[in-house]
Amino acid sequence: MGKIKQASLWSFVDTLQVAKKELMATLKEGSDCPCCGQYARMYKRKLNSIMAIGLINLTKEYKKTNKFVHVHDIRLGDRDVRAMGGQFAGLKFWGLIEEQINEDTQKRCSGMWRPTKKGIDFVYKKIKVPEFIWVFNNKEYERAQTETVDIKDSLGTKFNYEDLMRNI
């Protein structure tokens, strides 16, 4: 590679690193990417009651077969977790659920989930997890400096833990 091409490449890499650093410094407030102009923002996600109920019901179904469970079979009353608008899948940011690898190229995802050991321990009140997690680009970016919560805290006062755990 000639000296001019190599210098040009290093200049590009330096410029890209500066742009990346600028963007990362403003993610919590949100800003336009200096490279492509797309709006980018980190989101503070809370482990909420709907997610906790979904995890409890996934754990109930998983305990029956010890196999991945399809989202249609994870119930929220008379509906399945798809009615949660994607909140259920957010449990992955806490490491509480995992999705089966999708081998069907015609589908975006497998739709099959199971609780992790951590997820099961959370359901059975053996562990606590952070109440909030910062998410960027569909990945956990950092743990928010907040109190930890157990499953009952996540459910709030509206739901009765013992009723939800019946038959598990």
What is the arithmetic mean of pLDDT over 145-160? Answer: 82
- Angle among Cα 46, 99, 151 to the nearest 5 degrees reads 35
- Residues of the chain with pLDDT > 90: what percent? 30
Rounded distance between C-alpha atoms, residue 98 and residue 95, angstroms: 7
pLDDT for residue 129: 95
Q: Is the pLDDT higher at 37 or at 160?
A: 37
Q: How many helices (H) and strands (E) does the chain have?
A: 5, 12
- Please write the tens of the pLDDT for every residue from 82-116: 666 678 889 999 999 999 887 777 777 778 899 99
Count other C-beta atoms under 10 Å from residue 123's C-beta.
Answer: 25
pTM over 0.95: no
| pLDDT recorded at residue 13 | 64
120 or 164: which leads in pLDDT: 120
Question: For the residues 20-36, what does the mean pLDDT come to?
Answer: 82
Query: Of 138, 152, 161, which Cα lies nearest the Cα of 47?
Result: 152
Backbone angles phi, psi at 112, to 5 degrees: -110, 130
Question: What pLDDT sits at residue 114?
Answer: 96
Q: Which of 55-64, 117-126, 141-150 has the lowest mean pLDDT?
A: 141-150
Ordered by start, the domain boundaries in the chain are 3-40, 43-165
Whether the predicted pLDDT of 121 surpasses 90: yes
- State the amino acid at position 28 in one-letter form: K
Which position has the token pair 């179904």? 61
CB 45 within 8 A of CB 135: yes
Alpha helices in the chain (DSSP H): 3-25, 49-65, 117-123, 151-155, 161-165
SS3 state at 142: strand
**Average pLDDT value for the chain:** 81
**Alpha helices, DSSP H only, in 80-155?**
117-123, 151-155
